[in-house]
Amino acid sequence: MQARKLANGAVQLYWRYSLAGKTSREPIGVYDPAAPPKKLQPTQRGYGIAAALEKCRMLADVHVERADTGGLREVKAEKRKTFLAKKAVEAEKSTRTLQKLLDAYVAHLKAQGRRSHVDAHQIFKSHITAAWPAVAEAPAADLTPDQVLDMLRRLIEAGKGRTANKLRSYLRAAYQCALDVRTTASIPVVFKAFGIVFNPAAQTRRSPQFDRADKRPFSKAELRAYWKLIGEHTGCEAASLRLHLLTGGQRIEQFVRLRWADVADDALTIFDGKGRPGQGPRPHQIPLLPDARTDLATLKRVGEFAISTTAGKKPISVRTLAGWAHALVGEAIDGFQLKRIRSGVETLLAANGVSREVRGHLQSHGLTGVQARHYDGHDYMPEKRLALNILSRELRLETDAKAAGQ
């Protein structure tokens, strides 16, 4: 045993040993002069002589036992190697958490140009990251179907059944990416690191009662009342709402992102990101009637985005457009929601003999199947224009009749 006085006055005790002609010192601890002379265990302040000698004896036993394989020096090296390996495993696990998988999936959606990345991010943030932090920081490969069901059940019990189904869908899609990365080259390699071998969300069932579509499309009378209300006002708010209606009640999240670069004299193009995963947003062209062109002309043609409150730098949000509509409608239409315009337009067109196929092309939905994707190259612009003329005529019918009567 050796002792060395340090600069601060404390005495450091060591056990000195040698192997193959090389001498080493192993720190034991600080000397405690107040320790009981026969006490074999260290005190809170350090080691007495008896305790230090006992520690030296224990180290010597280990050294002699491993003399043929490197002695105490090798034992310490092995312990350090084990410690570093454990730290490496922990570090690797920290990059393979459920949170990291969800972040990768949101980034994948965003890179594909799918607007659903915003919705997915908000749902994950509120109903996994905040609600289940320990699960979010655990390895993604460890997530169980029971844990997924607990997440969904919590939302359903809070009266958020629709959100529960959306959470399940997004979670299922994230895990499917991690599974498909082994067979699909278009999926980013980052998903490979998670080591996913099964999809826990796919082992659960959705609750179909929360997926029922809104069965309250605007009636013809409500659509006409809405048209009259927004037609009585000027400014970009009313013009934007009229443009939305006169172009067939397009999906609001796509409509608000209209770019000036996608506006032509007789048509505009928006991009539908609700198509098949991995295919990217699909261009959706819509004819412009004269009145729609008039409303479009009232918007300031500056910047990138047509419907904007920031000089075209950013598009308005869905909530902003809905707020404009509610401000103009007030209490005039019971249960008014801007999203009901879309189903109201389709119902009105159906009642006027517009086929389901044409309605689907006008509102960019139901365009599935091999025929639609691969063989039907017709752009349906004449049929869309005819449908929009029918819509415009039906919206004005009551107003025109009153004007004729006067």
- Say what the pLDDT of residue 208 is: 84
Determine how many CB atoms are found less than 10 A away from the CB of residue 71.
20
Those residues with Cβ within 8 angstroms of residue 265's Cβ, 6 or more apart along the chain or in another chain: 288, 293
CA 216 to chain centre: 29
* pTM, to two decimals: 0.60
| Distance between CA atoms of residues 107 and 137, nearest Å | 18
- Say what the pLDDT of residue 33 is: 92
pLDDT band at 81 (very low <50, low <70, confident <90, very high): confident
| Distance between CA atoms of residues 143 and 182, nearest Å | 20
Cα four-point dihedral sign 360, 365, 371, 374: positive
Specify the residue for token string 């140009």.
Answer: 113
pLDDT tens profile 334-354:
989 999 999 999 999 999 999
Please compute the mean of the pLDDT values over residues 126-140 and round it to a whole number.
95
Q: How many residues are given for the chain?
A: 406
DSSP 305: B
Please compute the mean of the pLDDT values over residues 48-68 and round it to a whole number.
90
* β-pair type (22-30, 267-272): unpaired
Please compute the mean of the pLDDT values over residues 29-33 and round it to a whole number.
93
Instruction: Please state, in angstroms and as integers, the Cα–Cα distance from residue 139 to each residue in 100, 136, 176, 295, following that order.
Output: 9, 8, 16, 53
- Say what the pLDDT of residue 24 is: 87
pLDDT tens profile 301-342:
999 999 999 999 999 999 999 999 999 999 999 989 999 999
Residue 276 scores a pLDDT above 80? no
- Say what the pLDDT of residue 21 is: 79
- Say what the pLDDT of residue 91 is: 64
pLDDT band at 23 (very low <50, low <70, confident <90, very high): confident
| Distance between CA atoms of residues 238 and 236, nearest Å | 6
- CB contact burial 165-186 (16+ within 10 A = b; e otherwise): bbbbbbbbbbbbbbbebeeeee
| Distance between CA atoms of residues 116 and 372, nearest Å | 24
pLDDT band at 400 (very low <50, low <70, confident <90, very high): low
Please compute the mean of the pLDDT values over residues 32-54 and round it to a whole number.
93
pLDDT band at 252 (very low <50, low <70, confident <90, very high): very high
Domains in the chain, CATH or no CATH each: 2-92 (no CATH), 98-210 (1.10.150.130), 220-405 (1.10.443.10)
| Distance between CA atoms of residues 166 and 170, nearest Å | 6
- Say what the pLDDT of residue 293 is: 95
pLDDT tens profile 87-114:
776 666 667 999 999 999 999 998 887 7
Q: Following DSSP, what letter does each residue of 211-273 receive, concatenated? A: ------PPPHHHHHHHHHHHHT--SHHHHHHHHHHHTT---HHHHTT-BGGGB-SSEEEEEE-
Cα four-point dihedral sign 313, 317, 318, 324: negative
Q: 25 is written with which tokens?
A: 């010192």
- Say what the pLDDT of residue 403 is: 52
